Amino acid sequence: MKEIGWLMHPNLVPLRAYFQAKEEKLLVYDYFPNGSLFSLIHELVVVARKSPFLKDSKILSDWHNLQGILHAVAGVE
């Protein structure tokens, strides 16, 4: 966790604090009114699924692949 706190890049949100217990890990970041990256990605997938122009297209497949990669990296199922 300490290594994450030292990361600095224009595209990264600074980590303000963290908490770690046996089965729980919490990261604290500043509040962003535009929402989270998680919600942005999931909203784009929902829009892509509903679009008649994107059904069975490579774009939709790419979004599913990206979503799977992000979930794997984040440890989210």
Q: Which residue's structure tokens are 């604290």?
A: 28
Q: Do the Cβ atoms of 15 and 27 come closer than 8 Å?
A: yes
Per-residue pLDDT tens for 5-19? 667 777 777 888 888
Helix axes 58-74 and 37-50, enclosed angle (nearest 10): 150
Q: Which residues sit opposite 25 in a β-bridge?
A: 20
Per-residue pLDDT tens for 42-75? 676 555 556 555 555 555 566 667 777 777 767 6
Q: H or E stretch including 19?
A: strand 15-20
pTM for the model: 0.40
